[in-house]
A and B are shown apart, each in its own frame.
Chain A
Amino acid sequence: GAVVSQHPSWVICKSGTSVKIECRSLDFQATTMFWYRQFPKQSLMLMATSNEGSKATYEQGVEKDKFLINHASLTLSTLTVTSAHPEDSSFYICSAGLSITDTQYFGPGTRLTVL
């Protein structure tokens, strides 16, 4: 149980375009989802916390107008990278909070490459 999926697993886009990444909790309902980014050989950096039906809470230094988060249902959150630039190239990982056991379960990640 507690499976989280992400789509796509990898994406290549041109500079200036927007990219949407989906995060789904497959076998449980997640009131809270989290978005991270990870650079090579580094740990995960929390970008934002997404609560179903309300606005996301962004971490300091993360541009909310650039990284749009929508948490429309208890099983789906989306991250849209708007007007992507090469420096946005990274590994983006979502997780979902399973409140009963108080842990986070992570998706497989999405590798974004901006040309």
Chain B
Amino acid sequence: QKEVEQDPGPLSVPEGAIVSLNCTYSNSAFQYFMWYRQYSRKGPELLMYTYSSGNKEDGRFTAQVDKSSKYISLFIRDSQPSDSATYLCAMSLQGAQKLVFGQGTRLTINP
């Protein structure tokens, strides 16, 4: 069993839809949770960063962490074609040290 599980997709939704991306994990010691967006042939770009449980909102993006269920989510509201990318969840025990990544979900937003 992988430490972090993420459905690779692909996921295709129409423009304007609400997108839900999820990851589950097995190590209850993880404290820091991140979502990265990666366009083809580019490095990952940090979207959201959360410490411990709770919700965090930034514009059209909302990150949720449920440590009791070992489950994290990223919601994208009013999705745009420019949101089409691979979304990677990542987590760590201590801050910037040694991230463990999910497999990444390929998302396509259709105009």
Contact = CB atoms under 8 A, between A and B. Distances in A.
A54 interface: no
Interface string A84-97: 00000001010101
Interface residues on B, range: 20 to 34
Interface in B14-68: 32, 34, 36, 41-46, 49, 51
Most buried by A among B8, B42, B43, B106: B43
A44 B96 contact: no
B97 A103 contact: no
- Tell me the dominant secondary structure on chain B's binding face: loop
Given A102-B51, A105-B46, A111 B99 contact: no
A93 B66 CA distance: 30
A108 B42 contact: yes
B88 interface: yes
A103 B49 contact: yes
Interface of A: 4, 6, 32, 34, 41-44, 46, 49, 91, 93, 95, 97-99, 101-109, 111
Contact of B34 (A93, A98, A103): A103
A101 B42 contact: no
- Tell me the dominant secondary structure on chain A's binding face: strand
Contacts of A103: 32, 34, 46, 49, 95-96
B21 to A, nearest CB: 14
B88 A43 contact: yes
Given A102-B95, A103-B49, A103-B96, A108 B104 contact: no
A91 B96 contact: no
Interface string B98-110: 1101111010000
